[in-house]
Amino acid sequence: MKSVSLSQVVRSHDSFRFFCPLQSWGQSLSLAVTLCAGLACIALLFMAIDPTAPVAYIIVPVLLGGLAPLFAALPGKFQVVTRFHAHYFLKTLDQTIVSMGYSAQLPVTGHTRRYSRSTGLFHWKEHAIAVTMSEHAITIDGPIFTLRMLQQKLIN
């Protein structure tokens, strides 16, 4: 990997997204289902462990902890710069993304590839990964936590 360098993952969204990270009704619905079912069970478990604790001391941290992954799913990007032509590294990148559970979609253009996870209740369009290739660089866009995992897999 001496011929390849990876940049840091940077946020690629507007600052208003910190105030309203949800962008669609599907995202709102999946978040509501998750918070109602999962966090209610966790709060009930904590209340069973310590019934004398005030309810606010249990509910507020559980709710904030449930909303934290929402901000990790905000879009980001990083760049892979190569000394050789970038399409030689594309096969390694493709195998790494597929090993993370993504599947390749039909190419949008000759220089852009898209990968997405299977559809379902918790499927968000923003969780897709877009790979844009130029002569000596590849730009990868996607959710920040996924890009950091991808970077770690490419380094190891």
128 with 51, same domain: the answer is no
> Which DSSP letter does residue 119 get?
P
48 with 80, same domain: the answer is no
For residue 54, give the amino acid letter.
Answer: P
79 with 141, same domain: the answer is yes
Q: What is the CATH number of the domain that holds 90?
A: 3.30.160
**Residue 72: what pLDDT?**
67
141 with 95, same domain: the answer is yes
**Residue 86: what pLDDT?**
84
Q: What's the domain count of the chain?
A: 2
86 with 30, same domain: the answer is no
9 with 80, same domain: the answer is yes
47 with 88, same domain: the answer is no
30 with 48, same domain: the answer is yes
Series of mean pLDDT values for 10-residue runs along the chain (156 residues): 81 65 69 78 85 84 76 82 86 90 77 77 69 90 88 89
Phi, psi of 115 (to 5 degrees): -130, 140
33 with 95, same domain: the answer is no
Give the whole-angstrom CA distance, residue 22 versus residue 16.
Answer: 11
Question: Domain span at residue 123?
Answer: 4-14+75-155
9 with 79, same domain: the answer is yes
**Residue 90: what pLDDT?**
85
**Residue 119: what pLDDT?**
60
Give the whole-angstrom CA distance, residue 109 versus residue 95.
Answer: 20
What stretch of H or E contains 103? strand 103-104
**Residue 96: what pLDDT?**
92
57 with 86, same domain: the answer is no
**Residue 15: what pLDDT?**
65
What stretch of H or E contains 83? none
Phi, psi of 93 (to 5 degrees): -65, -40
Give the whole-angstrom CA distance, residue 154 versus residue 7.
Answer: 12
For the beta carbon of residue 102, count every other beta carbon within 10 angstroms: 21
DSSP β-ladder status, 112-116 and 129-133: antiparallel
Instruction: Say if pTM beats, i.e. exceeds, 0.75.
Output: no
**Residue 66: what pLDDT?**
75
Domain end position, chosen among 37, 56, 71: 71
